[in-house]
Chain A
Amino acid sequence: MSNVAVLSRLQFDAHTRVIDVDDGFTMDQVAAACAAPAVGYQTSHPDPSKPLRVRRTTDDDTAPTLPRDLTVKAAGFTHFECIDVFVE
């Protein structure tokens, strides 16, 4: 187990954030970790009726959504991996 710093781009948030995640975290846990310091502080949940999902950040926002149970290690996230956290 080790920590990986990801750069979170949470849907509708004005900031991008540095979030430490454990490499055993699932994408659901990653999304929760990214939402924790933002939702209710400076932004609202984009749609509380839907789960937050994770994909890698790309210029055209077309990267595939990662499976909810995929782990950080299995996804191959490395230091300063840039991710979108969003609802589908």
Chain B
Amino acid sequence: MALLDRSAWYNIARSTNWTPKYVPESELFPKDQSDPYGIPTAEWETFDEPYKVSYREYVSVQREKDAGAYSVKAALMRSNYYENADPAYLSLLKMHYGAIALSEYAACQSDARMTRFSKAPSMRNMATFGMLDELRHGQIQLYFPHQLVTLDRQFDWAHEAHHTRNWATLAGRHALDDVMMTRDAMTTSLMLNFAFETGLTNVQMIGLSADAANMGDYTFSNLITSIQSDEARHAQIGTPVIEIMIRNGKKAEAQQAVDVAFWRIWRVFALLTGIPMDYWFPLEKRDRSFKEYMHEFVITQFERQLRDVGLERPWYWEHFLDDIETHHHCQQAGIWSWRNTVWWNPTGGLGPAERDWLEQKYPGWNATHGKYWDVIIDNLRNGRPEKTEAVGMPAICNMCQIPISNKGGTVWKARIYQREYEGRRYNFCTLVCRWVFDTDPVRYKDWDTIVDRMYNGQISPPTAENILRYMGSGVVSKGGRDAHDYAWVKGYDRSPQAAE
């Protein structure tokens, strides 16, 4: 059958709009779902997305991507790759799938909201493809780990994590609920498509894909690359929205939405990406440090994108740069110490050579983060492994839901930033998380951290066993342990000088 060339019809198809006759426009596009900023309707006709794709092309390309990802997976399964993989690398997969698979599925709803409520017809068109993208990402990232459940029950968290109240799940869900599940169509495009996907997804996707390939896991590398190619397309939805807002005097509102979302997602993705890159991959497999990735793939790129659309760097840029040096190191330490609370087996992974590498990549690491590990290594080398398991609870941030930590040692930067609101005392890890709360306290005030739940009766009685059970640890699977059974400490026996 002869087909018209795409150029003959595409522009008409993507820009078809209509004037409602049976309902008023305010019902078709309610303000709180479509446009709380009051952009004139005619402005939406100017929405121009850089990626132009037809449904026929989309289906064809997506079929090819799926075929590639599934065939690589089938080949690798035949080689028993996962049965022989480094346990710390398997932990990366468990953490990733548990955190990401159902988040992708949830993102279908975000794109569906843009598909239904966006006023720009071509934005609705793009969001339709975005919605289908996210459905594929959810399915493929549930299916792949499902086949690994027989290998290790912890892989079941790919499906279960979002149905639990594990602290790590709460952290991810709080951020994603904020930026993609509970905003109007326009703000979702700024927060999800521009700040999250354009700004930060690349670091997760590009960084992890390269490292997975170095580990010989072409299944995961191919999967991530396949997903990234979709993200690169639908992430473009936000850019024209920002341009339209700026033209219509709403730059401050656009800037704030981007600033909030970028920080919120950064705090979670630094854990998902930074910890494996700097601690879990064997030294010889590390492509570069997390910090180097951040500077190369995020900072340079995101700054340019902000400039291109007419926005500024977030006000907290210096705090962000400092957080790149700090946050994931602190959380590696905390997650390892409270390892029985998570659904993967983190490795300490800090032999003498690894410490040298960290000191080189993060000058001052030994004098700050290293002090923490000095105590742990001393306990392990002197037969006190029980003292490496944390007791009690860390304070947890009322915004990012992550333990409030910072550099230890003589610089001693761990600090809680508080805010009193309507008689309740809220705790924050940084000035930036507190600022996010201040932008809209009504939005955030009713959420409870795991620690709040210990004191308001949701976890009763708040014994260690009950807290773990409440979080699903020991229920869905066993909680975490050291992935290498402390084998990394043996390096100090071979190198007494390094142990000093």
Contact = CB atoms under 8 A, between A and B. Distances in A.
A67 interface: no
Contacts, number: 91
B164 interface: no
B390 A12 contact: no
Interface string B202-238: 0000000000000000000000000000000000000
10 contacts: A9-B416, A14-B330, A14-B372, A16-B404, A16-B405, A18-B392, A18-B393, A18-B394, A19-B392, A42-B376
Contact of B408 (A12, A40, A57): A12
Contacts of A79: 425, 455
Interface of A: 5, 7, 9, 11-19, 37, 40-44, 57, 78-80, 82
B137 interface: no
A14 B390 contact: no
B404 A43 contact: no
B390 A11 contact: no
Most chain B Cβ neighbours within 10 Å, of A7, A15, A18, A79: A15
B267 interface: no
Q: Is the interface of A mostly helix, strand, loop or mixed?
A: loop
Interface string B443-482: 0000000010011000000000000000000000000000
Nearest to A44: B375
A39 B410 CA distance: 15
A42 B404 contact: no
A24 B387 CA distance: 29
Which size class do B's interface residues fall under? 35 or more
A13 B38 CA distance: 49
Interface in B357-394: 369, 371-372, 374-376, 379, 387-388, 390-394
B240 interface: no
Interface of B: 330, 333-334, 337, 369, 371-372, 374-376, 379, 387-388, 390-395, 403-410, 412, 414-416, 418, 425, 427, 451, 454-455
Given A5-B455, A41-B391, A42-B390, A15 B375 contact: no
A68 to B, nearest CB: 22
Closest 9 A-B residue pairs measured CB to CB? Answer: A14-B408, A37-B392, A16-B395, A37-B391, A18-B393, A16-B404, A80-B425, A7-B395, A15-B405
A14 B416 contact: no
Contact of B416 (A5, A11, A43, A57): A57
A41 B198 CA distance: 40
A35 to B, nearest CB: 11
A57 B391 contact: no
Contacts of A82: 416, 418, 427
A11 B413 CA distance: 9
Contact of B394 (A11, A17, A43, A57): A17
Given A42-B333, A42-B376, 4 more contacts: A12-B412, A41-B391, A42-B390, A82-B416
Interface centre among A14, A16, A78 (most CB of B within 10 A): A14
Contact of A7 (B371, B408, B427): B427
Nearest to B368: A14
Nearest to A14: B408
